[in-house]
Amino acid sequence: MFMQILILYLFSIYIINKRTHSFASALDRLSEFVRIAWTSFSNFSMGEVTDAGGIRRRCFACSKGDFLPGESFESFGNYVRALRETPVRLKDRLLARSLDAIEIYEVKAQSRNEMKRTLTWWDLMWFGIGAVIGAGIFVLTGLEAKEDAGPAVVLSYVISGVSALLSVFCYTEFAVEIPVAGGSFAYLRIELGDFAAFIAAGNILLEYVIGGAAVARSWTSYFATLLGHQPRDFVFKANGLPDGYNLLDPIAVGICAVICIFAALNTKGSSRLNYIASIVHMIIIAFIVIAGLMKADTKNYSDFAPYGAHGILQASAVLYFAYIGFDAVSTMAEETKNPGRDIPIGLIGSMVITTACYCLMAVTLCLMQPYKQIDENAPFSVAFEAVGWNWAKYIVAAGALKGMTTVLLVGAIGQARYLTHIARTHMMPPWFALVDERTGTPINATVTMLLATAIIAFFTKLEILSNLLSISTLLIFMTVAVALIVRRYYVSGTTTPSDRNKLILCLALILGSSVGTSIYWGVTQGSGWIGYCITLPIWLLSTVALRVTLPRARDPKLWGVPLVPFLPSASIAINIFLLGSIDNDSFIRFGVWTAFLLVYYFFLGLHASYDTAMEAKSNLIEEGS
């Protein structure tokens, strides 16, 4: 995964700049950097593992089987035969669906060591707060209040918060029922099959890396501000590199390295650091709210919704991205002491607290200043300056800095566990699946993902990274909601063909009407209403048909989403609607990366995972006989 991201990164530099000499220069610099890093990485060791033959070796030691596992890669002839069988193997993987027990026991065993169950609902709640409340609240609130919603931005936060909560419900049921490190990858693999799970998880890994690099670059800017410098004072210009990639940021690399150490050594220790930092962040938010309300002027609320309902909804689509990050918490289910109790309290509790904080800060900002005077780039700092409290901007900068630190930490833990579980299925090299016996953490996956994040953060300008919005995250939120409906209404061998066809038809209508609503909103910019009279009734009737005409094939054992299929169906519609608000560049990036994933899958991942599945099937037959 590290090499895939790095290759795509270099390719994007070439395409954007089309300057051969600049690309060659960048390639030379990166090649030397990677050579040194990889040499050091290969010589580093932490703990030992025991392989299938009983031989103990260091966790970072590796062999050919750790990267090219299975019969298909034993010889060149085997590989050629595997390529010839690609259509047959692809059909098998497209139709194959995993089982809860396989993910919980057999797949997890590929890591050779267990992750330590040390987390409680308290840890998960603070992980959720730390993952979601970053620097965005200090910027997005002012931007949307001024441009789209006015003081009614608080209603936009409520709408987007409720929308995010629907996705949290879906993730919570899956995490309770299937407490493994794979998060949405494992859920989709069980309900929608290997292929859909791999494409979805591959995209979210890229989002984690790009998002982490953007946060690391922003961390440097806020750190400079906190020390009284200009945001770019701590970056260095390299004249031999193309524009946009020539402002080198060693501090971003340093913060990635520090985060890597905490994430790799101990999950419980990372949890303690996170909730201490998050408590500090909550104290800073409380200061901003209390101090801001002391300077409140109710006259600023006289024109509450100057842009009307359209502005409120438009702002809610943008502010939804302020809630992204909670999915990383679901990957920690494998390390939770009591998933049935701790995960619902932790995930839902963190989302409720986050929404309350966002709403309080939005109300405070709009009471301190008229919405037309709010600064788009530093709304709270400028607002405090306007009331004569210039010193308060340093507290705001400290809050943003803390928020970005915990976002990086929780993201690092989540992305490593995604990669770990993908590697357990051999869709990625199984070397990434190894869990260190001493620390109980996936060190290989953690170091590799953060190394990719650090390299991209070192070279790439913040504005370029910021343009790559979370299209993959919304796509996965939508597919997880689809998977939840499939889980409740379809069980292989139990559901009749007639009911299966009804389920497919209802889901197709729900997806189609949601896409239609999103397109109509984009075309009319919210000014029309006739289209909604067609798409919304289709969505509602399709959801009602699911509830009335189909018997439930399975009920949750411990904790379940209420009002199924209405809540997951609403989550599908909302996430597709928000996908329509994303810029074209993000869709282009999504298409390029997905194409790259397909090439990797057809030539490597498909055959390795197929061999693993066939070996597991053979073992079951032998045990049965």
Residue range 415-450, pLDDT digits in tens = 888 888 888 888 888 888 888 888 888 889 999 999
Distances in whole angstroms, Cα of residue 160 to Cα of each of 313, 363, 414, 578, 585: 9, 16, 23, 10, 23
Query: So what's the pLDDT on residue 144?
Result: 86
Query: So what's the pLDDT on residue 464?
Result: 60
- Regions in the chain scoring below 70 on pLDDT: 1-65, 135-136, 139, 377, 462-470, 526, 583, 619-625
Distance CA 96, CA 196 (A): 11
* Among candidate residues 416, 478, 468, 425, the one with its CA nearest the CA of residue 205: 416
Query: So what's the pLDDT on residue 619?
Result: 67
Query: So what's the pLDDT on residue 384?
Result: 86
Determine the residue type at 202.
G
Query: So what's the pLDDT on residue 386?
Result: 83
Query: So what's the pLDDT on residue 135?
Result: 62
Query: So what's the pLDDT on residue 16?
Result: 40
Query: So what's the pLDDT on residue 462?
Result: 61
* Among candidate residues 380, 156, 382, 394, the one with its CA nearest the CA of residue 288: 380
Distances in whole angstroms, Cα of residue 343 to Cα of each of 123, 124, 168, 274, 346: 10, 7, 10, 17, 5
Query: So what's the pLDDT on residue 382?
Result: 81
| pTM for this entry | 0.80
DSSP 249-268: -HHHHHHHHHHHHHHHH-HH
Query: So what's the pLDDT on residue 589?
Result: 77
Distance CA 15, CA 8 (A): 10
At 49, which helix (H) or strand (E)?
A: strand 48-50
Query: So what's the pLDDT on residue 508?
Result: 95
Distance CA 503, CA 493 (A): 15
DSSP 8-state symbol, 115 = P
Q: Under DSSP, is residue 57 helix (H, G, I), strand (E, B) or coil? A: strand
Chain mean position to CA 358? 20
Query: So what's the pLDDT on residue 51?
Result: 46
* Among candidate residues 271, 403, 433, 259, the one with its CA nearest the CA of residue 336: 271
